[in-house]
Amino acid sequence: MALALVLVVLLAAVAAAREAHGYVAYNTSAGTVAGLLNVHLVPHSHDDVGWLKTVDQYYVGSNNSIQGACVMNTLDSVVDALARDPGRKFVVAEQAFFQRWWVEKSPQIQAIVHKLVDSGQLEFINGGWCMHDEAATHYIDMIDQTTLGHRVIKKQFNKTPRAGWQIDPFGHSAVQAYLLGTELGFDSVHFARIDYQDRAKRKDDKGLEVIWQGSRTFGSSSQIFTNAFPIHYSPPDGFSFEVLNDMTPVQDDPLLFDTNVEQRVNDFVSAAIAQANVTRTNHIMWTMGDDFNYQYAESWFRNMDRLIHYVNKDGRVHALYSTPSIYTDAKHASNESWPLKQDDYFPYADSTNAYWTGYFTSRPTFKGYVRMLSGYYLAARQIEFLVGGSFTSSLEDALGIAQHHDAVSGTAKQHTTDDYSKRLALGASQVHNFLLQKCFGDKALLVFQTK
């Protein structure tokens, strides 16, 4: 009888707890708050336009024995997750992937994406065809690949990216600050890879964020707000929520074991204060993502929803979904005085005697091929304008991909570099065949093809 009574009491307690817990409407809509440390969570996935796998393999998710990565899954999953909660945000950089995905989508999905872009939930940053290298590229090629991406964004969404997002190239040129920054209309540029000694000193001086004057000749007109991350472009330790990785989720269900909201909030506050100690103003950025993340986006957003909700209830610091544009606006509004930088972030070293300078000359034949076809493409565009029609699009796409920081740099796997070369050759062949036909007619083209 006593055992039965205890069982009834326990069942009643469980039922009460279940009823009390139930559905939790997480508050993710908060903006910045004056007087508190604001932690800007910027959800992103860094998607290399070829590296260990080819660009198409990365897009469709094939050859996963090399690396489990599928950008198509990421974009599908992110759009679904954003549509569930208007407070969530995400940033997209590489248009070589996004445009592959966009043309496959139904009008209904495209309408959803338009709504997400218009509301600011989905923001295009950088906006080029790729995230170009800044050492082995020619400035004309950097401009062309950026123009290609910006052109399609403007056509499809009537938007122009505001923020530079060069998070992975191996060092940074002052040309990026003014020619591919200020001159593009960017009001900020953000990146991760700077020399480890430079980073350590800047953390001590609270000088990671600077005004970068890319040209002494153009002076203040070439200046741009620049944010070098205190760590890599991943979150602080313990706050990566990629579904198949070893992670500690935010567990707030009292009916399950390992409830850890208090501990996770304490961890969050500690990490935020540590970063605030090396950053000016009461605004810090957490880059919530890494290479080819968000293939199951809900894993990230579910945990970030809970963090934002419970951290803000705690009240010691303030967390919010953000983007580089929102973050930069908050920085400018603070009226802080920033250090001035006038030179490059070259060379890049990530530890003692580990200088990333070999790629300046590695794979010289491929570098030469890219440069040669760049000039060929420039001449072909002029002819294209004079004679009408469109016959350079394949070469334009291939050259845009080739400017990627693992392509012309020579840091991709051999089979990926072969794929880059194949794309360039096919694009050049298309241009060559068109010019032969225009100049000499169908007979010349037939002779050329049969030799």
- Using DSSP, state whether 261 is helix, strand or coil: helix
Structural domains counted in the chain: 1
225-238 residue pLDDT tens: 999 999 999 999 99
Mean pLDDT of 325-351: 97
- Using DSSP, state whether 8 is helix, strand or coil: helix
Give residue 324's identity as a one-letter amino acid code.
P
CA angle 333, 335, 339 (to 5 degrees): 125
pLDDT at 442: 60
Mean pLDDT of 312-319: 98
- How many Å is the maximal CA-CA distance in the chain? 103
Q: Say yes or no to pLDDT of 186 above 50.
A: yes
Distance between CA atoms of residues 88 and 285, nearest Å: 16
Instruction: Report the mean per-residue pLDDT for the chain.
Output: 93
**37 located within any domain:** no
Q: Say yes or no to pLDDT of 79 above 80.
A: yes
**321 located within any domain:** no
Residue 210 near residue 184 (C-beta atoms within 8 A): no
**161 located within any domain:** no
| Residues contacting 414, CB < 8 A, separation 6+ | none
pLDDT at 444: 54
Distance between CA atoms of residues 188 and 228, nearest Å: 11
**369 located within any domain:** yes
Distance between CA atoms of residues 341 and 223, nearest Å: 9
Distance between CA atoms of residues 111 and 369, nearest Å: 40
Catalytic residue numbers, as ranges = 168
395-440 residue pLDDT tens: 999 999 999 999 999 999 999 999 999 999 999 999 999 888 877 6
365-405 residue pLDDT tens: 999 999 999 999 999 999 999 888 889 999 999 999 999 99
**188 located within any domain:** no
Distance between CA atoms of residues 125 and 145, nearest Å: 14
Q: What is the DSSP string of 179-220?
A: TTTGGGT-SEEEE----HHHHHHHHHHT-SEEEEE--TTTGG
Residue 25 near residue 381 (C-beta atoms within 8 A): no
pLDDT at 221: 87
Is the pTM of the predicted complex or chain greater than 0.85? yes
For strands 38-43 and 90-92, give the pairing. Answer: unpaired
Distance between CA atoms of residues 49 and 377, nearest Å: 21
**416 located within any domain:** yes
Query: 3-state SS string over 268-294?
Result: HHHHHHHHHCCCCCCEEEEEECCECCC
Question: What percent of the chain lies above the pLDDT cut of 90?
Answer: 86
| Residues contacting 127, CB < 8 A, separation 6+ | 93, 95, 146, 149, 150, 153, 160, 161
Question: The domain spanning residue 390 has which CATH number?
Answer: 1.20.1270.50
**433 located within any domain:** yes
**140 located within any domain:** no
Q: Say yes or no to pLDDT of 6 above 50.
A: no
Residue 268 near residue 307 (C-beta atoms within 8 A): yes
> What is the domain extent for residue 384?
359-450
Window from 16-25, 204-213, 214-223, 417-426 with minimum mean pLDDT: 16-25
Mean pLDDT of 157-165: 98
pLDDT band at 304 (very low <50, low <70, confident <90, very high): very high
Window from 44-58, 66-80, 314-328, 429-443 with minimum mean pLDDT: 429-443
pLDDT band at 21 (very low <50, low <70, confident <90, very high): low
| Residues contacting 270, CB < 8 A, separation 6+ | none
